[in-house]
Structure 1
Amino acid sequence: MKKMSKLEAILWNIAFPGFSQLLTGQYIKGVLFVALEFIMNVNSRFNQAIMYSFLGEIDHAEAITNYQWLMFYPCVYMFAMWDAYRSAMPSDEKFSFLPFVFCAYFVTVGLMVSPKVTILKYHLGPVFLPMLFLLPGLIIGFLIKFLLSIKFHEN
């Protein structure tokens, strides 16, 4: 099994969930993540939504998006990233899952509220608003990880 750095593991899984697992020889897990990504992506029409969003056609992106399928995406995506990170992290690292979990929560909420939320007169839609919700997820996840690390380091 090939060992990779935490950064490499994260970057490959950002590119496509399951790639890090495939590169490290975890073939069953990698194929499962790739298959889940493909199934969710096709059924939610996420690639089309991304394309329309980047073209500035947010209303069109919302119209073609299947939210029921797309709501699975953040959790599977973040879990695949955490799994790749976990296989590359030192065994004594604690609470590394927290930023990933909170990102999954917040991106899912961002997706759910995206049809109704406008920020500074801009309607960001099902792609850009969930991306913005990633930031508070990261901040809260890292903050809780930091606080728990301090608490458990003291004991």
Structure 2
Amino acid sequence: MNAHLNLVLINSFNRDLQLAHQHINYSWGLFYPSIYGYAIWHAYNSAIANNNKLIGNGVEKRTYLSGFFLGLAVGMDFGLFWHDSNLIKTIPLLDYPVFNGVLFGLVLGWIGNLAEREIYRKYKRKRINDKY
């Protein structure tokens, strides 16, 4: 609420860059992506568990897409934090406080998903196979 990020979202989508920069409070805005990413991740995992219950399958004690949502939250925070750098200002679309957060979030989310799938899950499978 104190970040005024919802108002900044509206201003960014209306291409009013000056108003978007005027309204945002960055110190409060850094909380928004983390809470938003966690809420999406939790809702996604709860939906999978509920769907498994409804069709009669057992509920697995695992989470899905943890790497993606962790990367998404961190990337959105970095995008919001770094949007004011000179490198970012050379690309006009990324000068909006919202769009670079989405871009960084998707890129780091994809990297987090790859890391989880290729490193963590393979390591975990190897440990389970070594036990038996």
TM band (smaller chain): 0.7 to 0.9
Distance 2:123 2:4 in 1: 44
Normalising by structure 2, report the TM-score: 0.75
Unaligned runs of 5+ in 1: 1-41
Which residue in 2 is equivalent to 1:4? none
Percent of pairs identical after alignment? 27
Higher relative contact order (CA 8 A, sep 6+): 2
CA 1:96–1:47 in 2, change beyond 3 Å: closer, same or farther?
A: closer
**2:116 counterpart of 1:145:** yes
- Provide the aligned C-alpha RMSD in A: 1.9
Distance 1:132 1:119 in 2: 15
Distance 2:94 2:21 in 1: 11
CA 1:60–1:141 in 2, change beyond 3 Å: closer, same or farther?
A: same
Structure of higher CA gyration radius? 2
> What secondary structure, in the 3-state scheme, does the structure 1 residue paired with 2:114 have?
helix
Distance 2:123 2:5 in 1: 41
Unaligned runs of 5+ in 2: 49-58, 128-132
Contact 1:58 1:123 in 2 (8 A): no
Which residue in 1 is equivalent to 2:38? 79
> What secondary structure, in the 3-state scheme, does the structure 2 residue paired with 1:146 have?
helix
